[in-house]
Chain A
């Protein structure tokens, strides 16, 4: 076995261990350790990605002395390694972009606790990405949930406590449903290892055995993960959680935590239940309808919003709707489009959160639209970054959002006779609604105010500017050089099944 193949295991254990180490350090050192760990995991994931691309096949890694159905196992393919790399990049940039606010909004003595949460969150995300065992996935979903709660409420005021409570209740409901689904699957198949479950589910399904328990299990797992990733009717926890938490938390929650669950859902669809069984169970039609509703209603709520952070949060509901709509199309092309949208939304939404905080800082910390007038002149880089993010979300060519919309539109005209028309209509309406609320904001921040353009001096930090520039570069790269990435996603999805 090559030494590189150990790297996924190293990165999970390193981030887990760094969480423990951070508890003994003060805030400053915690920050350094955290930065080091994320960068190390990033480098290791890149190495793994190159290795897997070179060999062209996935491999499994035994966690311990016992082989798969008895011991634990992780599995590494192209998509997993790429996701790990991408998540690390976004997490690092979000933390750098929000660092000034972290210092300010979190009590001095609780600074290191924040980095414990981030380290453990990273390890749980990595484990969710790499795991090949359904119960390991559940254990790390727990870590993910609790640390996300902590990330919301570490900025302590009434709003965040309320948001964290809401998040905890909804998210635990989701975990409970997921656990019930896993229990039923175990009961019917006798396995927890993903590939073994798939084998027996496929034979059971074609033989007609335990049909109802299997359908219920699929339903519970899908609904549980949909609640946790804020699909439309279950999104009530989202706006306050993203709107009032500190900016790094909002960026991490919107672009990583919910995406981790969506990735787990993809994995369950392909590697646990089997794509044919999922198609046959018709569950994806429900996801499709909810996704379409989310696309429209999330955008409508965003238009009504008078608070820039909450507006961006509602826009997330719409974008999550896109992702589920892509899954609901039930074709491989739709799945590729969904995975691409996961990437593009993660890159864009964190950019928007980080840029919005620069604009609100330049407007006396007010998140109200009326105070944001002319903010694009007061903090220029944030203004440009926000415009880039908005254009990407709306789907302008040359930015990442365009490619994902193009992929959605092309995938819905292939092999989906009944779903083509609703998808195209909703895509159109949602794009117009997106344009309404994002362009409204962009026009607002570039409307000059009489006289007082430089009245509020903003402290500019190199880290913040660098993070914004990197985010914009990622967006443009995703938008301009999409072919290799789409190819990689296709290879990864093939490796899945």
Chain B
């Protein structure tokens, strides 16, 4: 404070009075206004009686077997839910019968939107696979949101299931040890199958991701395949093996870098697009592996996020951490 007011002047200010009141040093009513002590609202009933009454009340309230109202309610509920489902089914069937027939020429969804996707999708996005071009270029904002849905779902599962070292250490350790008991120990058939299958699955997943813009597939499906491979590996060889290369730290770093890259790359492209500037990202020759601008790196990012999310879900549900 550069300027100190004189104490007496300060004591007259509004701020001083407010803070004095707020700290509880002086009550503006005390001594100024007549105040009556209120009657005690609770009557003086002995503690045991209150406790007994409370206990009786709770027993009565939770006595489900002898509760007639609950029985009536259950019947009523059952009947009503069946009726409701039937009504909903009827409404939906009625709705479907009046809707446009699937695949009929001249349907409302055969309009300029899908026409442009199909006709000029290849030139505009450089992706042979129109679906990938649509989700990662035309409507990339939706997909950006969608990959954050996965991210936040993992975060919520972290909140619910992650066992942290600082909370209730011993009890949780015992539980963890218990879970290890259920783990298949050196199951020869599973291990043999996994040895053959896991590399194939993961390589296939990588293929699906990298060729997302050329052939059917993409980040979401390829990521799911890789995630499945990781889970199979975990089941065959246990946490001790997987934790050598995949821990929570790895998960965090992978997710952080892929989502950041996705976010920043797309922000750049959105910004350039909205301001009608050239983004300067080459589209390449359609059909080549290094083509279609941002789609390939974005597919890789989405694939990594999906694979990590699947593995993280499994590990968290299994033993609350990895």
Interface residues of A (CB under 8 A from B): 1, 6, 9, 13, 16-17, 19-21, 23-24, 61-66, 69-72, 107-110, 113, 116-117, 120, 123-124, 127, 133, 135-136, 139-140, 142-143, 146-147, 149-150, 153-154, 156, 184, 186-191, 200, 210-213, 216, 370, 373, 377, 380-381, 447-450, 454, 460, 465
Contacts and interface: CB of A to CB of B under 8 A. Distances in A.
B160 A153 contact: yes
Contacts of B153: 146
Contacts of B109: 186-187, 190
Contacts of A186: 109
A72 B139 contact: yes
Interface string B244-261: 000000001001100110
Contacts of B173: none
B98 A69 contact: no
B274 A136 contact: no
B89 interface: no
B143 to A, nearest CB: 8
A190 B107 contact: yes
B202 interface: no
Contact of A13 (B35, B41, B92, B263): B263
B267 interface: yes
Given A16-B263, A210-B98, A6 B271 contact: yes
Contact of A450 (B37, B140, B270): B37
A65 B95 contact: no
A63 B274 contact: yes
A187 B274 contact: no
A142 B149 contact: yes
B94 interface: yes
B272 A65 contact: yes
11 contacts: A62-B273, A64-B274, A65-B273, A71-B139, A107-B167, A113-B159, A135-B142, A142-B149, A153-B156, A187-B99, A216-B95
B234 to A, nearest CB: 23
B11 interface: no
Given A147-B152, A213-B95, A373-B41, A72 B140 contact: yes
Nearest to A12: B141
Contacts of A71: 138-139, 141, 273
Contact of A17 (B35, B141, B263, B273): B263
A29 to B, nearest CB: 14
B211 interface: no
Interface string B98-124: 111000000111111110110000001
Contacts, number: 192
Given A188-B108, A200-B108, A127 B159 contact: no
Contact of B142 (A139, A449, A460): A139
Interface residues of B, number: 70
A377 B141 CA distance: 52
B119 to A, nearest CB: 11
B38 interface: yes
B264 interface: yes
Contacts of A140: 145
Nearest to A142: B149
B40, B142, B159, B255 — which one has the most chain A CB atoms within 10 A of its CB?
Answer: B159
Given A70-B138, A110-B164, A189-B108, 12 more contacts: A6-B271, A9-B271, A20-B148, A23-B151, A64-B137, A66-B124, A72-B142, A143-B145, A147-B156, A150-B152, A210-B99, A380-B22
A143 B152 contact: yes
Interface string B156-185: 101110101111000000000000000000
Contacts of B158: 110, 113
A116 B256 CA distance: 12
Nearest to A107: B167
Contacts of B146: 139
Contacts of A72: 139-142
A190 B111 contact: yes
A154 B159 contact: yes
A435 to B, nearest CB: 20
